[in-house]
Amino acid sequence: MLELQDVCFTIRKDGSKVNLVDHISLKVPKGHFMAIVGPSGCGKTTLLKTIAGLNPESSGSLFWDGRDLSTGGDFAPSEIGYVPQFSIAYDPLTVDESVEAATRLRVRCRNTAELDQRIDRVLEEAGLASISDRAVKVLSGGQKRRLGLAMELVSDPKILLCDEVTSGLDPRSEREIVRLLHDLSRKDGRIVLSVTHSLAHLELYDSILVLHEGCLAFYGPPEKLTHYFSVKDSEEVYPRLATQTAERWQSSWQKHGESYFHMLEHNRHVLIASGSLHLPHTHKSPPPADEPADADADTAEAARPATTRAAPAALPMPGFCSQFATLLSRRWRIFFRDRGQVFLQLAILLCFPILVTLFSDKASGPIRNFSDSHQSNLELEIKEQQGVRADQAKVGSAVSGIIMFQVVLLALMGSNNSAREIAGERQIYEKEKFGGLRPSAYLASKVAFLSCLVIAQSLWMAFFVNFFGQFRGEFFQHAGFLLLVNASMTAICLAISAMMRTAEQASLLSIYLVGFQLPLSGAVLALPENIEGFTRPFISAYWAWSGSVESLQTQVHDAVKSVIDTSLSLQTSCLYTLSAHIGVALVIAWVGARRPQWD
């Protein structure tokens, strides 16, 4: 049984407290199908989130099977299913793949046969078996709602919370979904709470809860709704609600609530007696002789002191490695299904190094002729050095520019890699986290995926540009710094993505960050010293550029130094600073991934 005792969810608005959920008390027995209705903005979603534990109650208590959810621990992830208002599936995947990923993330199956069996059963239950190979993006509204339900059913939740799963559907599809929810409540004593605007098909529900401005205005059998509100048709309930204040509806309900609860109890006994409702056998300690069994098991259970009851054993969750592998393979699948994304990545991968090569082409002559050999003959050496000095400025600025160009393009690739990676799927991720996904497995899968992009982009850039205009120095050190700057920007933008509320905010901030890398790096123009000291530690491009310049051959290095006003740093400092950027960014990404960010 689910029981709410005087539950409030309070926010502060303009300095005063406002109850979005206002002193709600009710009992929902097992195998019950309840509609939560009310005008838009009355607090239906807020109430559902309070029950789910997403909005911690400000006062009052919630009990599940007699266990106090605020002191005895929340619902186990497999105990509860929450179908939110938004779609929780990835468009490029098929129905089957979506349900499979949901199962692998939430349930530990012993073998593939058990996994397949569970997936097939859920698809069958949700009425999706015939379209299991269809892509999510081509599903109709009703089919998407069924998929959302199927993805929750994989863990056989004991309580299913559905938010507006019928809104926007045609009357037939709406009825089909309500019928499906009704059937789901008839299995294994599952409680199904469904938030809806619609006052159609009320007869399919066991009870109707009417909310008005966060207050409970009615909770009783559907057939008593019109009688209670003294209206002829249920459609007249909302206009009728508006005729009185929420407080008056609340106080009037406090007078009548008890008798309507008895009507619900009566209806329930009738259902059980007629065989329409089967409740599972409980495996608790046998009830005392004076307590009724079966039909009243909920009532008897609720009557026992909460502290004496242990939390029921939940389904075992899959381990870190299993969740990591599922997420990583799903990420690659989504990546390869999105042709636009693949094309963009390939275009960037191929075109950026070509761009650098084109720019470096003009400078390649002087660079190639630029000698660092030392003549033994003094006269020849002086002559050579004069020639070298003539080219020094040209070569210095060309080499410095080419390195900085590579660095900035790789920084740009880094931001493109990860700016939307978490923020773009935040709601789906929050939903999966609620279902038991470990943030560590999620972040590790992102790091593994992005590392592949970073390695491919950086090494290809380094080798390609080196092939057309040989790097005059320690090539592998140069390639290492290119890799580090790409990794650093990817990690920083991943952190931004984890902290921001929307993908647009994350993209914008990441682009600004890349935009500031070049001017603040000091490679083009030197900054005033007091500003430089403050900004430099944060500019990844500077450290990669400086580290790469330090790996140049002595004469080319001197040529670069002769044209820049900015001081260079030791290679080890560059290495440590870039590693620190990556480390700090990953810690921030971890904090952001753990932080709940529901809409």
Ligand X SMILES: Nc1ncnc2c1ncn2[C@@H]1O[C@H](COP(=O)(O)OP(=O)(O)OP(=O)(O)O)[C@@H](O)[C@H]1O
Interacting residues with Mg ion (CB under 5 A): 45
Give the residue with the Cβ less far from ligand X, 38 or 435.
38
Out of 41, 280, 537, 583, the residue judged to bind ligand X by CB under 6 A = 41
Locate 587 and state its tokens. 């810690």
Non-local CB neighbours of 532 within 8 Å, separated by 6+ positions: 522, 526, 566
| CA atoms of 240 and 203, how far apart (whole Å) | 20
| Smallest separation (angstroms) from ligand X to the CB of 465 | 51
Among 4, 24, 35, 42, binds ligand X (CB under 6 A): 42
User: Which of helix, strand or coil describes residue 224?
Assistant: helix
Which residues in the 172-211 window bind ligand X by CB under 6 A?
197
Q: Name which of ligand X, Mg ion, none residue 465 binds, using a CB cut-off of 5 to 8 Å depending on partner kind.
A: none
Nearer to ligand X, 211 or 487 (CB): 211
Residue with tokens 């009355």: 42
207 binds, among Mg ion, ligand X, none (CB under 5 to 8 A by kind): none
Q: Considering CB under 6 A, how many residues would be counted as binding ligand X?
A: 11
Distance CA 108, CA 386 (A): 74
Find, among 480, 491, 487, the residue nearest to 547 by Cα.
480
Q: Does 46 bind ligand X (CB under 6 A)?
A: yes
The item of Mg ion, ligand X, none sharing an interface with residue 411, based on CB under 5 to 8 Å by kind, is none
CA dist 397 and 566 (Å) reads 13
Q: Is 56 near ligand X (CB under 6 A)?
A: no
Query: By Cβ distance, which residue is nearest to Mg ion?
Result: 45
The site map against ligand X for 284-323 (x = CB under 6 A) is ----------------------------------------
Query: Which residue, 43 or 92, has its beta carbon nearer to ligand X?
Result: 43
The two tokens of residue 553 are 């051959």
What is the DSSP code (8-state) at residue 284? Answer: S
Query: What is the C-alpha R_g of the chain?
Result: 32
Sign of CA dihedral 66, 71, 77, 83: positive
Q: How far is the CB of 349 from ligand X (least distance, A)?
A: 43
User: Which range touches ligand X (CB under 6 A), out of 42-50, 246-254, 263-271, 368-376?
Assistant: 42-50
Q: Residue 129: how many CA atoms within 13 Å on its side-chain side?
A: 10
Q: Where do we find the tokens 């500019």?
A: 539
Between CA 567 and CA 262 the distance in angstroms is: 82
Residue 86 binds ligand X, judged by CB under 6 A: no
Compare residues 17 and 383 and give the one whose CB is closer to ligand X. 17
Question: Which token pair is 108?
Answer: 């530990």
155 interacts with, out of Mg ion, ligand X, none, CB within 5 to 8 A per kind: none
Per the listing, tokens 């709602």 go with: 145
Report the residue number, 46 or 540, with the smaller CB distance to ligand X: 46
User: What type of residue sits at position 212?
Assistant: H
DSSP string, 86-115: S--S-TTSBHHHHHHHHHHHH---SSHHHH
In the list Mg ion, ligand X, none, the entry touching 42 (Cβ below 5 to 8 angstroms by class) is: ligand X
43 touches ligand X (CB under 6 A): yes
Query: Tokens representing 146?
Result: 């069924």
Q: Of the candidates 3, 22, 45, 162, which one interacts with ligand X according to CB under 6 A?
A: 45
Query: Is the CB of 209 or the CB of 585 nearer to ligand X?
Result: 209
Q: Least distance (Å) from ligand X to the CB of residue 43?
A: 4
Residues that bind ligand X (CB under 6 A): 11, 20, 38, 40-46, 197
